[in-house]
Amino acid sequence: MKRRYSFPVHLTGAAVARTGDEMSGPALMLAGFALTGSAADASLLLAGVTVSSVLGGPVLGTLLDRAERPGRLLAAALALYAAGLTAVLVGLGRLPLVLTLALAVLAGLLGPALSGGWTAQLPAVVRGDRLARANALDAMTFGAAGLAGPALAGGTAEVLGAPAAVVVSAVLVALALPAAWAVPVTDNPSAVTAGAANRSA
């Protein structure tokens, strides 16, 4: 497994997941406004999915550090995040706002898996003196996703409609599932913990 799983696969998965993450907030806000007609409600959705990620980060990081197969946990978090986005979209205009907002908050708790969760697994993917370069490339995907995500949300909403932007965001997150699932098990758990701590700092 370790030989078949390459750093480019990991980096691509991280970039795709992070782009979906950065896209999700603006996409939810646009969809919220389009389906409810309320700018206030749309803003609440954006706040719910972003603020809750701050709370979920430390808990999810601890679980990833202690997991025997962190890739499986990372993949589960990605799947639940994508499902949460879809549930919010389905609920908009159909469920009371408080329930839809609760779904957005629950999804947001898993948001850190789309960002730091990938970085924390780098020591299991890249070894030795290649780790510093891998960390640098990994960090670059944060900036790229931060630019591409909102732009993609706006472009998709303009061409296909605001609800489609949420769908595309969920699809991007889901596309990263195979790369997350296949993350190899590290034989140096302390290195993974250190990587997570460095990213959190």
Secondary structure (3-state) at 6: coil
7-200: CATH class: mainly alpha
pLDDT of res. 186? 62
pLDDT of res. 81? 93
Do residues 99 and 69 make contact, with C-beta atoms less than 8 angstroms apart?
A: no
Segments making up each domain of the chain, as ranges: 7-200
User: How is residue 103 written in tokens?
Assistant: 């779904």
Q: What is the pTM of this model?
A: 0.85
pLDDT of res. 198? 39
User: How is residue 196 written in tokens?
Assistant: 């997570």
Do residues 165 and 30 make contact, with C-beta atoms less than 8 angstroms apart?
A: yes
C-alpha span between 97 and 115 (Å, rounded): 28
DSSP 8-state class, residue 182: T
What's the first-to-final CA gap in the chain, in angstroms?
A: 31
| Local confidence band at 4 (pLDDT 50, 70, 90 cut-offs) | low
| Local confidence band at 187 (pLDDT 50, 70, 90 cut-offs) | low
**pLDDT tens-digit profile of 17-76?**
999 999 999 999 999 999 988 999 899 989 988 888 877 777 777 777 787 788 898 999
Do residues 156 and 27 make contact, with C-beta atoms less than 8 angstroms apart?
A: yes
Looking at the chain, list the stretches that DSSP marks H as alpha helix, in order from N- to C-terminal side. Answer: 7-36, 39-66, 70-91, 97-108, 116-119, 122-125, 131-160, 162-175, 177-181, 189-200
User: How is residue 157 written in tokens?
Assistant: 């909403």
**pLDDT tens-digit profile of 131-148?**
999 999 999 999 999 999
> Which is nearest to 114 in space by CA: 195, 53, 193, 32?
53
| Helix axes of 70-91 and 162-175: crossing angle, nearest 10 degrees | 170
Task: Report, as an integer, the average pLDDT of 170-174.
Answer: 96
**Mean confidence (pLDDT) of the chain:** 85
